[in-house]
Amino acid sequence: MATAQCSGNSDLKSETSDNSSIGFVFEPKFLPPGAGHFTLTADYWEIKQRGVVGVFGEGNALTLDYLMRLQGTTNSNVVRLAPTADDIARFAGTGIAPVGQEVYVSDRYDNLNPQQFKGVDVGLMWQLRDTRAGSFSVDIEAARLLKYYRDPSAGIQALLDARAAGQINAGVSITGGGDLVRQNGAPATKVSASLTWSFDQFTVGAFTRYISSMDDTNLLATDGTPWVVESQVTGNLYGQYEFEAGNLGRTSVRLGANNITNKQPPLASGTYGYIGSVYQPYARYWYASVGMKF
């Protein structure tokens, strides 16, 4: 694929957005003391953005160039070398004028069409303290992306229509418009949970996170089916011991492991083979720390 040469735009306008949310917190007081303390939270939020600054994209520009060449014109933003003899032979019988190797795509920053996000976040916290078995704390949080839609620009819509009509191959990736939930870096569901148990001087903590699967629309099969980026569950674990160390005050020693199951980021297209905005590329690692309170 050609490289992009992006330029500024003196006509850019400021991005604007409208944010709204509504939520509640529920703490039941009718439970018996031995049941612990519960807190339930829920929030619904919505964001509308206008004038988002972005680019058309070099992949889209090359696809548009192909579509325009089928129609007897060209995309002037795609800069190419003059066609060689091999290029001319390759295009023979296609009905398309021969073109040379692409050198770069000229792109510039523009105010893109509006986009909208909607989601729900819920949380459950529970604490039970000073029992014979110790103290317990549980925190569960879940986020659901209900809507992520960007109005396609005229150029993107033309490409989507052409692909739907079979004018261009179904396996051609077109990005930047339409329903974007569970695509690329926008998983529909995220859930995290932590558990802490302490007894006298000992504390044990665990954390886990779940990310739902996504479609990688930059990697399509010939029939247009996107590559599925698998869901992932990761976990951390630690143990801690606290004691009085004379003049050093109260000292804590912690030993833990992050990504204890040694999960690798799910395979996706891109430079590093995973979606960097969502996943961490760290293998399992152990750590130890010492803390002091004077």
Q: What is the pLDDT of residues 145-199, one digit of tens each?
A: 999 999 998 889 989 999 989 888 888 888 888 899 999 899 999 999 999 999 9
Q: Report the C-alpha gap between 44 and 165 in whole angstroms.
A: 38
Q: Report the C-alpha gap between 277 and 186 in whole angstroms.
A: 9
Q: What are phi and psi of 102, to 5 degrees?
A: -70, 140
Closest CA relative to residue 57, chosen from 67, 65, 49, 46: 65
Q: Report the C-alpha gap between 145 and 118 in whole angstroms.
A: 6
Asked whether 236 and 260 are in contact (CB, 8 A), the reply is yes
Residue 75 in tokens = 């995309």
Q: Report the C-alpha gap between 8 and 136 in whole angstroms.
A: 55
Closest CA relative to residue 143, chosen from 44, 61, 76: 44
Residue 245 in tokens = 């160390």
In a domain? residue 194: yes
In a domain? residue 178: yes
In a domain? residue 167: yes
For residue 147, the enclosing domain spans: 18-54+120-293
Q: Per residue in 58-102, pLDDT tens?
A: 889 999 998 988 888 889 899 999 999 998 998 888 888 888 988
Indicate the number of domains in the chain.
1
In eight-state DSSP terms, residue 72 is: T
Query: How far is CA 32 from its chain centroid?
Result: 42
- The percent of residues in the chain predicted with pLDDT above 70, rounded, is 99
Q: Per residue in 192-223, pLDDT tens?
A: 999 999 999 999 999 999 999 999 988 888 88
In a domain? residue 46: yes
Strands 202-211 and 189-199: antiparallel
Asked whether 273 and 218 are in contact (CB, 8 A), the reply is no
Residue 262 has pLDDT above 90, yes or no: yes
Query: How far is CA 232 from its chain centroid?
Result: 13
- Beta pairing partners, 291: 252
In a domain? residue 11: no
The dihedral through the CA atoms of 53, 59, 61, 64 has a sign that is: negative
**Mean pLDDT estimate for the chain:** 91
Where is pLDDT greater, at 156 or 142? Answer: 142
In a domain? residue 228: yes
Q: Report the C-alpha gap between 4 and 61 in whole angstroms.
A: 10
Asked whether 67 and 167 are in contact (CB, 8 A), the reply is yes
In a domain? residue 33: yes
Q: Quote the pLDDT of residue 122.
A: 98
In a domain? residue 4: no
Asked whether 178 and 161 are in contact (CB, 8 A), the reply is no
For the residues 241-263, what does the mean pLDDT come to?
Answer: 88
Range 234-258 burial, b when 16+ CB lie within 10 A, else e: bbbbbebebeeeeeeeeebebebbb
The dihedral through the CA atoms of 45, 50, 51, 54 has a sign that is: positive
